[in-house]
Amino acid sequence: MVLLNLLVKPGWVVLENVVQDRIGHELFGTFTALLTLATIVAAVSDLGTTQLTTKRLAASPSFFTDFFPTLLPLRAGLGVGFLALTVGLGWVLGYRGHWLLLLAITAAGLLLTQYTLFLRGVLQAHQRFNTDAVLSVLERLLLLGLVLALLPMGLTLDRFVGVRTVAVLFTFLLLVGLIRRLYGRVALRPRWAQARQVLLESLPLAFITLVYGLNERIDMLMLERLVSAREASYYAAAYRWVDAVMMYLWTVLPLFFARFAHATGRPEEQQKLLWFGQRIVTVPLLLVVGFGLFRGELLFFQFKHSTPAELLRMTQCLQILFLNVLVHAFFAIYSTLLTSTDHEKPVSWLVTGSIVLNTGLNFLLLPRYGALAGAANTLLCAVVVSVGYVWLVPRRTGVQLPLAVLWRLALAFGGLCAGWYALRTYAGLPWWLETGVAGIWLLVLIFALGIVSMSELRQLRKKNE
């Protein structure tokens, strides 16, 4: 699953940077604000039913036959309602005419994507992770091909929005056919009592989804409305790489979400999963964050029409946001543990406080410092929320934190940065060779600090054999 995402997602980010370069910062900045608004609303459109379904199916397979005749039409109705809400919010925020039409089309595609995620929850809950992995990258792979086909013909914003919609629709129809083949036709028999039960149980998850969506993406929308579309585009160019890197987390963490839910009531098993997952989640991202800090400017090679000042602005945003990735690499798995074991409420209030802080800082600092302030505010809020996770986990779940592992991982990252700084200062190597040497140095640190031991690798090898 991770390999498939590593192959497709970075390629799409590179191509989307090309799209931004061709369309221009001003135009693409406004589209980014529309996309952000639609993404925030679409993320909460299922009112938490996707996470609830994955959790309930993992614990009880009969949930599929009992509740899906109600869930399928319920989700469709929610999608239509939230589409109207998105357009209404766009009108309130001042978008008119053609921009409002583009918002409606973009929102419809994202709502269809959310319905696809809901159906993929069935595959995840039944442990069909390989099939889910292919579907997770199919939409991007198809969109990659369609946009590449458009480049010689002439790329416009309208055409770009159109091919995005086509890719989403194709993936959705394919998944519907696959679900029917694997689990049979589901007769639609909506029952109000079941719908009410599901919505009451899922609303805490919906609140978490909303606050997470606001916390991570509201900066781009506020930049475009409060400062300029150009500043929003600088932030978007940097955040696009962050989003690509975070796909590693959003690919791996749902697996642990299902595993944590399956081990509900067994804190010893959850602790083993957490201590194992801490290394799985954090170690690969240490090298990626190091690259962003020391060689981040290389990620914007696609921008042929940008000035040196614009490239510097995007690079500075990227470096700050990659520190945000580092925080998530260390602490996002604690949020997964809490939300999968019915502790959504304290997490939601914690992130809500972060949103209030982020929004207040945005109003105060964005007009003066632009995109850099948005990136710094995002990092600060990630730190605040992560401190809350560390405090909540042992008190709410009874699972002990892997403090020794966290300390060793922090030492490994510090050693990596020191080594990379020495390479940049004294070695004068090409960037690819420099990155390779830094990767080898990180590997040495991981074994030297005992983060991973040779005995564990030998045990894993014997198990595979």
What's the confidence (pLDDT) of residue 433?
95
For residue 63, pLDDT over 70 is answered with: no
Q: How many domains does the chain have?
A: 2
Please compute the mean of the pLDDT values over residues 362-384 and round it to a whole number. Answer: 93
Structural domain boundaries, residue 434: 402-465
What's the confidence (pLDDT) of residue 186?
58
Q: Are residues 391 and 424 in the same domain?
A: no
Q: Compute the CA torsion angle 35, 36, 37, 40 (nearest 10 deg).
A: 120
Q: Across the chain, what does the average pLDDT equal?
A: 84
Q: Are residues 105 and 188 in the same domain?
A: yes
Rounded to an integer, what distance in angstroms lies between the CA atom of residue 188 and that of residue 76? 12
Please compute the mean of the pLDDT values over residues 378-390 and round it to a whole number. Answer: 92
Please compute the mean of the pLDDT values over residues 32-54 and round it to a whole number. Answer: 78
| Least reliable range by pLDDT among 66-70, 156-160, 408-412, 415-419 | 66-70
List pLDDT tens digits, range 245-284: 888 887 788 788 878 877 777 878 888 888 888 998 999 9
For residue 381, pLDDT over 80 is answered with: yes
Rounded to an integer, what distance in angstroms lies between the CA atom of residue 324 and that of residue 62? 40
Of the chain, the percentage scoring pLDDT greater than 90 comes to 37
Among the listed residues 370, 344, 355, 93, the one whose alpha carbon sits nearest the alpha carbon of residue 217: 355
What's the confidence (pLDDT) of residue 121?
66
Q: Are residues 297 and 424 in the same domain?
A: no
* pTM exceeding 0.85: no
- If one compares 463 and 315, the residue with the highest pLDDT of the two is 315
What's the confidence (pLDDT) of residue 100?
92
pLDDT band at 413 (very low <50, low <70, confident <90, very high): very high
- Of the three residues 379, 401, 423, the one that is the final residue of a domain is 401
Q: Are residues 340 and 458 in the same domain?
A: no
- Of the three residues 383, 401, 419, the one that is the final residue of a domain is 401
List pLDDT tens digits, range 427-437: 889 999 999 99
Q: Are residues 358 and 441 in the same domain?
A: no
Q: Are residues 393 and 413 in the same domain?
A: no
Rounded to an integer, what distance in angstroms lies between the CA atom of residue 15 and that of residue 145? 10
Please state, in angstroms and as integers, the Cα–Cα distance from residue 315 to each residue in 94, 152, 241, 321, 372, following that order.
30, 29, 11, 10, 10
Q: Are residues 304 and 450 in the same domain?
A: no
Q: Are residues 149 and 291 in the same domain?
A: yes
For residue 233, pLDDT over 90 is answered with: yes
Rounded to an integer, what distance in angstroms lies between the CA atom of residue 13 and that of residue 244? 7
- If one compares 414 and 60, the residue with the highest pLDDT of the two is 414
Q: Are residues 388 and 462 in the same domain?
A: no
- Of the three residues 381, 401, 421, the one that is the final residue of a domain is 401
The tokens for 316 are 């500075």
Q: Are residues 317 and 446 in the same domain?
A: no
Q: Are residues 389 and 428 in the same domain?
A: no
List pLDDT tens digits, range 316-343: 999 999 999 999 999 999 988 888 877 8
Contact 238, 37 (CB under 8 A): no
Q: Are residues 440 and 395 in the same domain?
A: no
